[in-house]
Amino acid sequence: MVRGGRGNPCRADEYWVRRFPLFRRNSAEAVQQRFLRHGLLGPGVRLLPGFVNDTLAPPCNPIRALSLLRIDVDVFTATLDALAHLYPRLTPGGVVLFDDWKLPLARRAAEEYRRSNGITAEIRFLPGTVDAQAYWVKP
């Protein structure tokens, strides 16, 4: 059940958005505006507002297949949740990209997920980025 929501576990948690201004900066509307501004909101793009564990866990997760999984959630649990719910839907040859490799807990979550799922694909780093952005290609 979503705290502060209207009883729908597939809804974003409005309580947290109201309580912490940082979350407002990343509201669905703000993200949509950024995507529009940069021409990234095409026909294949669908925004799923909410916390990872609320919006990506069954039965809420509408995603069937991915070719790019970009994870930028900053924390251990959300990184682990994102991988658990989305990595199985990543197509062979698809890429997992981590913006938060510099953050020890997010990196540890990725490393633990890889270890527990027998993922041995080489971890590489994007050149020319200010912070280390790690990625691997799914075999």
Q: Edge to edge, what strands does the sheet with 134-137 contain?
A: 66-71, 90-98, 134-137, 124-125
d(CA 55, CA 69): 15
Domains in the chain, please, with CATH? Answer: 1-49 (no CATH), 63-139 (3.40.50.150)
Strand partners, 95: 68, 137
- The residue among 131, 108, 135, 105 whose CA lies nearest residue 123 is 135
**DSSP string of 58-106, one letter each residue:** TTT-----EEEEEE---SHHHHHHHHHHHGGGEEEEEEEEETTTTSHHH
Higher per-residue confidence, 64 vs 138: 138
What percent of the chain clears pLDDT 70, i.e. is strictly above it? 81
Strand partners, 125: 134
Residue 36 has pLDDT above 90, yes or no: no
pLDDT at position 15 is 46
Higher per-residue confidence, 74 vs 122: 122
Residue 135 has pLDDT above 50, yes or no: yes
C-alpha angle 24/26/31, rounded to 5°?
130
The pTM of this model reads: 0.71
H or E stretch at 137: strand 134-137
d(CA 104, CA 18): 28
pLDDT at position 25 is 55
